[in-house]
Amino acid sequence: MPVATPTDRPTAVQVHIGGRWIAGQALSWRIAPTGDREALISHHGHLVWVNQHQIREP
């Protein structure tokens, strides 16, 4: 399992999900088994790993 690297403080980001951009916070980053970079995103108390290609900074 990939190891997550904690960040000093959460970063405000927008995540592309279901054709919409949703606001969230990037809490940590990791390299997925596929070799892609992923961020641990928090949105209203839910946590999910998201590929970096679906993330932008506002």
Please give the Cα distance from 27 to 5 (Å, whole number). 9
pLDDT score, position 5? 66
Per DSSP, what are the bridge partners of residue 28? Answer: 6, 40
CA distances (Å), 34 to each of 14, 18, 38, 57, in order?
A: 22, 22, 10, 23
Contacts of 8 (CB under 8 A, 6+ apart): none
Please give the Cα distance from 46 to 30 (Å, whole number). 18
Tell me the pLDDT tens digit for each residue of 1-58: 566 666 678 899 999 999 999 999 999 999 999 999 999 999 999 999 999 999 999 8
Q: What is the pTM of this model?
A: 0.82
- Write down all domains in the chain, each with its CATH number in brackets: 5-56 (2.30.30.30)
